[in-house]
A and B are shown apart, each in its own frame.
Chain A
């Protein structure tokens, strides 16, 4: 009886949540391998199995290039944004300068303006950029990455600053005494110590970018330049029922990079999330 009271209920909660968590995913898997590939024929338990939806996805759509675009854009922009916010977090955490408090508050405040409501302005700005520098304009990776990096100095900087604050200052002070310049303190001493929060912000940025639909939808109009959300949402926009199997196959494939990044960074994640949160 005490087992039920102390351990049993934990399994009940766990199993109930497992059903809740996995049922939709099972539905997606089942629809993805469903040979008919339509929404109306989809059940939670697969009624048959075939790779037809997957091969159609690659043959009939430009899924391959969407996937590559998404990986590169999300990969490059999350890596760059982690680096940029780490630089800023170092300044905010370790240096005392005029405007520090104001700067910190400004960074937080500007983030609260929903960025994509500025989409008209962004569209006009990039129309001009496309005229002057086509290499950075619409339908290019670099342009979109730059646009996403506009938000690099945001919540992540706060999260990182909180974590940086928990690293004892004595470490970098003694390095400075030993003659290290500020670049060495930053790159050699601080960065390795804050790896968990770098991993967490990289993961959050990666997930955020790979799911970003609205700005990418305005920005990328060429079929070959699209990212996964733009491409996949377009797939079910017209023929929702008929393309559902392909859509689910695409969904599963889209999850792969995220799961991999997750696995790669797993051991840092819980550390980073909580320790960063303590100081906010």
Chain B
């Protein structure tokens, strides 16, 4: 296929002669390496300040490795692979592994932090002011910008006049200047909020609870605080939460990561625990989930095949139609026909959604229809695929045009002379040659469309939804369904969402692997 294969045996690449140092190369290389080192040193300071020694060690090792790599004449391939690989590991592999590991946990709303954090949250949430609660003078401050910075309560002990700074992590004594009323007038490292600034953030101030041994300190107004007692307290002895008023107890269930009472009722606040494969088995075995999941999977395949196949057929048809020197204005056709490709797709998806609007949408108006496009499953699916055709055919048209030009015209003419019809010649000669060139692109297009989040999210958002299942609509792809589970209104379930993304990954990987095998087979036949 390439000039190398034209004659003679394949020549083995000779071992490269000793790489000679190139003086001009050094003029570029040394400043770049210097810059890398400078950036590394700049990045090291915050790590040292925060005592992030592991981070510092990784940074130092990476920098040293890079300097070694580019100063030694050895390891040539690695010199070319290092930049991409480092970025890939940092921003792709690491997040993916992190996500994959959450698939084995119950991470999500109500199960975000550690057990200790859950206990603290339960206790502080149940704090009430009881008669005789300790009162403090309160000054609201922040360590950052008065409008957005994290809030800190500066409270003054009425007896000792000792000032402490408190936030969600607890209290810590600090040095500060106090006026006669016990209010703080100045404190190093803190910006005091004026009454007006505090007033605009009063909701946050009311919500803030500073945990203490027996309860929490909360504000009452903007200048007073009280130490309330927790209505629900953690008891180490029984590893349970006990309601001090009613005596009801919720015992810790380490498997579920929640406090459960005798009747199986859970407290809303739980903690993150490993749940093994249960997120995966849920998808396959729980009838309420498995049914919709399977339906979505089937539609997802149909969508990916229809989008990829439809755009391919349309693009190819167009390329063939215009692949003739006798068609006048071919250049004009070409420029106009690829315009949809140049339009921003996110915006055009929203425009299409409005064009399908039942009451004042262009499509109903133009054709005098009264179809509720996104109301019925079939019409909504048809609409989504139609939009995909519009967005996707120009790419296939471009690609097919290029591929057609690469096929020698003589081949088709020869078959014509041998008595084949135009269609026969196309089917037997042109199409197979085209497929060799285009199959890899079709595979990547399939993989892209299989997870074409925007196509559904910006048009139908998965609608229409069946009456009994508001989580799983007729046009939902696995990816939009997963997104709704992870970030939707019904409470985030990151662990379960991560499990589904692993399913998606496996499906796409298997389909692609099979197709790539087939491609190789095609190539062997035709080249």
Contact = CB atoms under 8 A, between A and B. Distances in A.
Interface of A: 6-7, 9-11, 13-14, 17-18, 20-25, 27-28, 39-40, 42-44, 84-85, 87-88, 90-91, 95-97, 100, 103, 107-110, 112-122, 124-125, 131-133, 146-147, 149-153, 155, 157, 162, 165-170, 173, 176-177, 179, 181-184, 186, 207, 210-211, 213-214, 228-229, 232-233, 236, 240, 244, 247-248, 250-251, 254-255, 258-259, 262, 269-271, 273-275, 277-280
A133 B521 CA distance: 50
Contacts of A270: 398-399, 401-402, 405
Given A13-B321, A254-B344, A118 B438 contact: no
Contacts of B4: 168-170
13 contacts: A14-B327, A95-B76, A114-B504, A117-B483, A118-B99, A125-B91, A150-B87, A153-B88, A176-B14, A182-B16, A207-B341, A255-B342, A273-B399
B304 interface: no
List of 3 A-B pairs having minimum Cβ-Cβ separation, nearest first: A150-B91, A280-B440, A274-B402
A114 B479 CA distance: 8
Contacts of A113: 92, 96, 501, 505
A173 B14 contact: yes
A150 B347 contact: no
B342 A39 contact: no
B112 to A, nearest CB: 11
Contacts of B46: 131-133
A88 B91 contact: no
A132 B343 contact: no
A6 B327 CA distance: 9
A247 B347 contact: yes
Contact of B98 (A39, A100, A118, A146): A118
B318 A132 contact: no
A122 B494 contact: no
A229 B345 CA distance: 10
A22 B336 contact: yes
Contacts of B497: 117
A251 B509 CA distance: 35
Contacts of A150: 87-88, 90-92
B512 A112 contact: yes
A132 B50 contact: yes
Contacts of A147: 91
A84 B479 CA distance: 29
B456 to A, nearest CB: 13
A153 B84 contact: yes
B498 interface: yes
Contact of B85 (A121, A153, A214, A233): A153
B398 A251 contact: no
Chain B binding surface, main DSSP class = helix
Contacts of B17: 176-177, 179
Contacts of B344: 210-211, 228-229, 251, 254-255, 258
Interface in B322-358: 322, 324, 326-327, 333, 336-348, 350-352, 354-355, 357
B388 interface: no
B1 interface: yes
Contacts, number: 293
B98 A110 contact: no
Interface string B254-265: 000000000000
Contact of B43 (A133, A210, A233, A271): A133
B13 interface: yes
Contact of B342 (A181, A228, A262): A262
Interface in B366-410: 366, 390, 393-394, 398-399, 401-403, 405-406
Contacts of B25: 181, 183-184
B419 to A, nearest CB: 18
Given A42-B362, A280-B519, 16 more contacts: A18-B337, A43-B365, A96-B13, A97-B78, A117-B479, A117-B498, A118-B92, A120-B486, A125-B98, A132-B52, A151-B92, A153-B84, A165-B2, A169-B11, A213-B454, A244-B354
Given A10-B321, A173-B13, A176-B17, A118 B95 contact: yes
A14 B348 CA distance: 22
A125 B95 contact: yes
Interface in B58-102: 76-78, 80-81, 83-85, 87-88, 90-96, 98-99, 102
Given A114-B501, A262-B342, A21 B87 contact: no
Most buried by A among B19, B47, B98, B444: B444
A24 B342 contact: no
B376 to A, nearest CB: 22
Interface of B: 1-4, 11, 13-14, 16-17, 19-20, 22, 25, 43, 46-47, 50, 52, 55, 76-78, 80-81, 83-85, 87-88, 90-96, 98-99, 102, 314, 317-318, 321-322, 324, 326-327, 333, 336-348, 350-352, 354-355, 357, 360, 362, 365-366, 390, 393-394, 398-399, 401-403, 405-406, 436-441, 444, 447, 451, 453-454, 458, 479, 482-483, 486, 494, 497-498, 501, 504-505, 508-509, 512, 516, 519
A166 B4 CA distance: 9
Given A7-B324, A211-B344, A233-B346, A21 B92 contact: no
Most buried by A among B1, B50, B95, B360: B95
A102 B87 CA distance: 18
Contact of B99 (A42, A117, A166): A117
Contacts of B390: 20-21, 24
Contacts of B98: 118, 121, 124-125
Contacts of A179: 17, 20
Given A7-B327, A114-B505, A91 B321 contact: no
B523 to A, nearest CB: 8
Contacts of A122: 91, 95
Contacts of B440: 162, 277, 280
A88 to B, nearest CB: 5
A12 B352 CA distance: 25
Contacts of A133: 43, 46
A24 to B, nearest CB: 6
B59 to A, nearest CB: 11
B96 A118 contact: yes
A103 B81 contact: yes
B346 A213 contact: yes
B505 A112 contact: yes
B28 to A, nearest CB: 9
B486 to A, nearest CB: 7
